[in-house]
Amino acid sequence: DVKVTQSSRYLVKRTGEKVFLECVQDMDHENMFWYRQDPGLGLRLIYFSYDVKMKEKGDIPEGYSVSREKKERFSLILESASTNQTSMYLCASSSQGFEAFFGQGTRLTVV
Amino acid sequence: ELKVEQNPLFLSMQEGKNYTIYCNYSTTSDRLYWYRQDPGKSLESLFVLLSNGAVKQEGRLMASLDTKARLSTLHITAAVHDLSATYFCASFPYNTDKLIFGTGTRLQVFP
């Protein structure tokens, strides 16, 4: 079974903090994604990566950056957390256009 | 830019009834995916549709894809309470691996 693991289920951070969300997949997938999910807005793509050190902006990249130094790991970075970044964050991986598999999600609260 | 729209956004239906959820997408794509999300949980893959005319069925759910009309449907037959969840469709724009989601359809099945 494909496994996508996010480092935390719940996080509470203060405004202005630098926040790291980590995601690891064990299926050697080329593609990895970060989404945020908010009520009524569905899943919105923040960034995705199609190879090590390669990344592409999604629909809402402002306030976020990403890092992919190894194929299995994709990190989402909030450079200076703000309250409007309080959300559910979902990581996913896929193999070249096939179905994506999701992690369990990280519910981030910025206070 | 690919836009994916679902309707309805919310569906309340009685057990035993049939209904269809629609997923329209705005640009050329030949891959369409359906996911299910239970409250507080992550997304689970339901169907993968990879060609025009593709039809997949699993239990009371049947999904189809019409790439010419840029439309996918998820048909529910004789709904049961266990189908209550949020259903998402998602697609890749042609020749990209950037997976874009619809806003989701929240389904509630009542006795």
Instruction: Tell whether the model's pLDDT for residue A2 goes beyond 70.
Output: no
- Look at the block and give the residue holding tokens 């902006």: A57
Which residues of chain B neighbour A31 with C-beta distances below 8 Å? 97
Report the amino acid identity of residue B90: A
- Look at the block and give the residue holding tokens 């836009």: B3
Maximum Cα–Cα distance for chain B, whole Å? 44
> Any CB–CB contact under 8 A between A45 and chain B?
yes
Instruction: Tell whether the model's pLDDT for residue A37 goes beyond 80.
Output: yes
| Average pLDDT of span A72-79 | 97
Instruction: Tell whether the model's pLDDT for residue B92 goes beyond 90.
Output: no
| Average pLDDT of span B61-66 | 96
**Inter-chain CB proximity B98 and A43 less than 8 Å:** no
Which strands sit side by side in the sheet containing B61-66, from one edge to the other?
Answer: B4-7, B19-25, B71-76, B61-66, B55-58
- CA nearest to A96 within chain B: B97
Residues 20-49 of B with CB under 8 A from A: 31, 33, 41-45, 48
Instruction: Tell whether the model's pLDDT for residue B95 goes beyond 80.
Output: no
> Any CB–CB contact under 8 A between B62 and chain A?
no
B29, B42, B56, B103: best mutation site toward chain A, by most A Cβ within 10 Å?
B42
First to last CA, chain B: 41
φ, ψ (nearest 5 deg) of residue A61: -80, -10
Pairwise pLDDT comparison (A97 vs A95), residue with the higher score: A95
Report pLDDT for A16. 97
Spatial distance between the Cα atoms of A2 and A13, rounded to a whole number of angstroms? 30
